Amino acid sequence: MDLSEEILIGNKVALAKGITLLESSLESDSISAQNLISKCSEYSGNSIRIGITGVPGVGKSTFIETFGKFLTKKGHKVAVLAIDPTSEKTHGSILGDKSRMHQLSVDENAFIRPSPSSGTLGGVASKTKDSIVLCEAAGFDVILIETVGVGQSETSVNNICDFFLLLMLSGAGDELQGIKRGIMEIADMLVISKADGDNTQKSENAKLEYQRALHLFPAMENGWTPKVSVCSSLENIGINKIWETITTHNSQMKSSAWKIENRKRQNIFWLHYTIKEELGNKRYNFLNSEEKLENLEKELSAGKTIHQIIEEL
């Protein structure tokens, strides 16, 4: 069996090899990666893609492990794509998410893959979108994308997920000053974490603060009203409510056809991004001036992959 066939039967070792191939900068690997994506693309798309970000120290890894275990117990297959910051000095990454999620990492229905951000803005590694395709082809129906951390550039995670979850700490007055407005505007749900012990009442107060703050923002285009909740990953409090909110959102977006429309928009975003990234702004501006980008978007909608389109350019 070749690599794509191994991935399609759910071989996690093959899946890891496939993502390594995607992340390789070698020319020969790039061609193999494009072929792999082409073979797996038709088997992808059947998942809920959840972007997760939060302020430093909010406990993203602890939350993801608790949430992931909750989902696997319910019969879901969960893939975690964790983006680790790359050092500007050494160009290295710690990639320690598997050690932080030791219970989830040994769960047979879970797959954890840390990847270096390699300087990519948006808190999402540039190959994450393709990694999602491989995970979905391997049968994972919930994809958790853990981003580097809160910053204005984190908003581009919205171009890769169906549901955007923002983790916050209690002490809302100070936190509201520190967080970027752009992130709160795109969050589908705000969750105040560590809502246990002495923090329980503080977290409830923070919840009210955020609910008031969200009322000041314009309505979301998809008709969804962002929710605010509290949780404790250590004591397993509020996890079920978070999943209920996500499934309600997913049902609403499916029934309104927004989920399909949103993914089409995301594909167009990544087409434009990839042309700029691989061919440069000069080539992109030329295609734009010649009004050829619209034709490329139509080719994408007709079933061509981004890699096939780039290859033909």
Look-up of token digits 């879970």:
110
Domain spans of the chain? 47-255, 261-312
Q: For residue 127, what pLDDT is reported?
A: 83
Structure tokens at 308: 């096939």
User: Using one digit for the tens of pLDDT, what is the confidence trace for 134-190?
Assistant: 999 999 999 999 886 655 455 567 888 999 999 988 865 555 544 556 677 889 999
pTM of this structure: 0.90
192 vs 176, residue with greater confidence: 192
Burial degree of 289 (CB within 10 A; 0-12, 13-18, 19+)? exposed
Other CB atoms within 10 Å distance of the CB of residue 240: 12
Please state, as a whole number, how many other Cβ atoms lie within 10 Å of the Cβ of residue 296.
20
pLDDT (0 to 100) of residue 90:
35
The per-residue b/e assignment along 254-288, b for 16 or more CB within 10 angstroms, e otherwise, is: eeeebbeebeeebbbebbbbbbeeeeeeeebeebe
| pLDDT tier, 289 (very low <50, low <70, confident <90, very high otherwise) | confident
Highest mean pLDDT out of 1-5, 103-107, 171-175, 242-246: 242-246
In this prediction, residue 88 carries a pLDDT of 38
Whether 121 has a pLDDT exceeding 50, the answer reads no
- Of residues 192 and 312, which shows the higher confidence score? 192
Region 116-123: what's the mean pLDDT?
Answer: 51
Residue 123's pLDDT is: 41
Q: Which pLDDT score is estimated for 170?
A: 83
- List beta partners, residue 80: 112, 144
Residue-level pLDDT at 23: 86
CA distances from 56 to 175, 219, 220 (A): 11, 28, 26
**pLDDT tens-digit map of 64-97:** 999 999 999 999 999 999 876 543 343 333 444 5
Task: State which fold the 47-255 domain adopts.
Answer: Rossmann fold (3.40.50)
Q: What is the mean pLDDT of residues 44-57?
A: 90
Q: Rounded mean pLDDT of the chain?
A: 85
Q: Quickly state the pLDDT bin for 308 (edges 50, 70, 90).
A: confident
Structure tokens at 301: 């909608």
Q: What is the pLDDT of residue 157?
A: 75
At 15-38, the pLDDT tens digits run 999 999 998 888 888 889 989 998
Name which of 87-101, 107-121, 274-288, 289-303 the model is least confident about: 87-101
Instruction: Give pLDDT, residue 111.
Output: 96
Q: What is the mean pLDDT of residues 210-223?
A: 86
Residue 222 pLDDT > 70, yes or no?
Answer: yes
Q: What is the pLDDT of residue 152?
A: 46
Q: What's the mean pLDDT in 280-289?
A: 90
Mean pLDDT for 215-236 is: 91
- Per residue in 166-185, is it b (16+ CB within 10 Å) or e — as a string? bbbbbbbeebbeebeeebbe
Q: Is the pLDDT reported for residue 118 higher than 80?
A: no
